[in-house]
């Protein structure tokens, strides 16, 4: 029964992969690049939904964990000549290890104390790269993943290769994460988030559960960081600013912090915001400083509006409304 349940869930992901394959050959280079960026944000936002939505731990340091994964992938690929796919596994493992160490400390913290600790991490960790020559200092490292070993035609571009890698990684990780969240681990995290004392009385080791959630979330963030560095072709402290962590949190709130169902919504919005800001700035004839700061202003505004009007995200809001209408319909029949 459990195997049939898992196999039924894999079909939408396979169909999604087939659709993405054909779409990548029908759109221009910019849209293909944006598609790869959406895949990056899908994985990064999912890491926050796992940690905050299911485990109840608020982290503002996912951008720093993405940097850990990005540097791990770049160093392993450049210095150790590990193939790009295996370097992604290195990114996941190194970031997960960092998350386990951070989670061991975070298990003793909660609320604003945990948020403040991870915020300090997001501010300080990327800047540490300036102190180590192997990490390229302020200029960073070039992360050239190359082309596939087989020729896929003259129309197959570098951005399509990025898109294929990023989309495949996102689909696999989303399928794995969905199954984890629907397993006993997901139920344990939700129980601890709902009432930690009651969960402990039920025999759940909430401290160990929180560390596991932090470890898995950090591994996802590390994968997203490696994917991001692949799409931009470099790994540097400037690629993982504090604003990235806030943007990811906004994307998670837009998606619905307690469900994976709307993660694509948050990812698409985050990718579209710079383009929308650029169009608005040009129409208003704004200065360069306004153009630079407008995306951050839009992100902040969206976060406030979402919290006020759809705090559970549009997908969860739609499900709740649908369930309420069905309940009303059934009661009217009686």
Same domain, 228 and 131: yes
Residues with Cβ < 8 Å from 102, sequence gap 6 or more? 61, 118, 121, 214, 218
Tens-binned pLDDT, residue by residue, of the chain (334 aa): 444 445 446 777 677 767 776 676 677 788 889 999 999 999 999 999 999 989 988 888 899 999 999 999 999 998 888 888 899 999 999 999 999 988 887 777 766 777 888 888 888 877 777 777 788 887 889 888 776 655 566 677 888 888 888 998 998 999 899 999 989 999 999 998 888 888 888 888 888 998 999 999 999 999 999 999 999 999 998 899 888 998 999 899 888 888 887 898 899 999 999 888 888 877 877 667 667 778 888 888 888 888 788 777 776 776 777 777 777 767 776 6
One domain, residues 187 and 151: yes
Considering its fold, how many domains does the chain have in total?
A: 2
- 254: its two tokens: 């837009």
Residues 125 and 106 reside in one and the same domain: yes
Q: Are residues 296 and 161 in the same domain?
A: no
Domain termination residue (choose one: 216, 240, 264): 240
- Say if residue 283 is in the same domain as residue 194: no
Whether 249 and 229 share a structural domain = no
* 318 CB burial (10 A radius; 0-12, 13-18, 19+): middle
Q: Is the pTM of this model over 0.85?
A: yes
In angstroms and rounded to an integer, the radius of gyration of the C-alpha atoms of the chain is 21
Cβ–Cβ under 8 Å, residues 67 and 237: yes
| Domain identity same for 196 and 249 | no
Q: In terms of Cα–Cα distance, which of 217, 226, 237 is closest to 123?
A: 237
Residues 225, 106 within the same domain: yes
Residues 285, 228 within the same domain: no
- For the record, the structure tokens of 92 come out as 């996941």
Range of the domain at 158: 2-240
Kindly state whether residues 235 and 270 are assigned to the same domain.
no
Last-in-domain residue among 219, 240, 261 = 240
Q: Residue 50 carries which DSSP code?
A: I
Give me the sign of the Cα torsion angle 187, 190, 191, 196.
Answer: positive
Residues 259 and 206 in one domain: no
**Structure-token pair, residue 76:** 């392993």
Task: Looking at the structure, tell me whether residues 161 and 227 fall in a common domain.
Answer: yes
What are the φ/ψ torsions at residue 142 (nearest 5 degrees)? -80, 130
Residue 252's closest CA among 79, 77, 111, 59?
A: 59
Length of the chain: 334
Rounded CA separation 229/221 (Å): 12
Of 222, 240, 258, which marks where a domain is finished? 240
């Amino acid at each position: 029964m459990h195997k049939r349940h898992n196999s039924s869930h894999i079909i939408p992901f396979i169909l999604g992969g087939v659709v993405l394959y054909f779409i990548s050959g029908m759109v221009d280079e910019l849209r293909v690049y944006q598609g790869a960026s959406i895949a990056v944000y899908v994985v990064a936002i999912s890491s926050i939904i796992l940690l905050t939505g299911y485990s109840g731990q608020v982290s503002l340091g996912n951008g720093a964990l993405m940097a850990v994964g990005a540097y791990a992938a770049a160093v392993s690929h450049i210095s150790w000549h590990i193939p790009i796919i295996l370097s992604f596994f290195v990114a996941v493992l190194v970031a997960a290890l960092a998350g386990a160490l951070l989670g061991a400390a975070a298990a003793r913290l909660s609320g604003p104390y945990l948020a403040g600790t991870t915020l300090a991490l997001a501010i300080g960790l990327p800047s540490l790269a300036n102190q180590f020559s192997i990490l390229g200092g302020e200029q960073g490292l070039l992360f050239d993943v190359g082309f596939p070993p087989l020729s896929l035609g003259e129309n197959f571009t570098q951005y399509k290769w990025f898109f294929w890698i990023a989309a495949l990684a996102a689909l696999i990780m989303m399928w794995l994460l969905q199954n984890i969240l629907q397993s006993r681990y997901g139920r344990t995290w939700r129980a601890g988030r709902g009432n930690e004392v009651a969960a402990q009385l039920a025999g759940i080791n909430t401290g160990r559960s929180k560390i596991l959630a932090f470890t898995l979330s950090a591994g996802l963030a590390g994968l997203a960081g490696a994917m991001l560095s692949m799409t931009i072709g470099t790994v540097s402290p400037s690629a993982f600013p504090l604003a990235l962590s806030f943007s990811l949190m906004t994307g998670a709130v837009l998606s619905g912090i307690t469900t994976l169902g709307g993660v694509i919504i948050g990812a698409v919005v985050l990718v579209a915001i710079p383009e929308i800001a650029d169009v608005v700035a040009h129409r208003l004839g704004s200065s360069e400083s306004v153009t630079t700061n407008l995306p951050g202003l839009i992100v902040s505004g969206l976060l406030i509006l979402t919290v006020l009007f759809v705090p559970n995200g549009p997908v969860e809001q739609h499900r709740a409304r649908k369930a309420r209408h069905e309940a009303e319909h059934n009661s009217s029949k009686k």
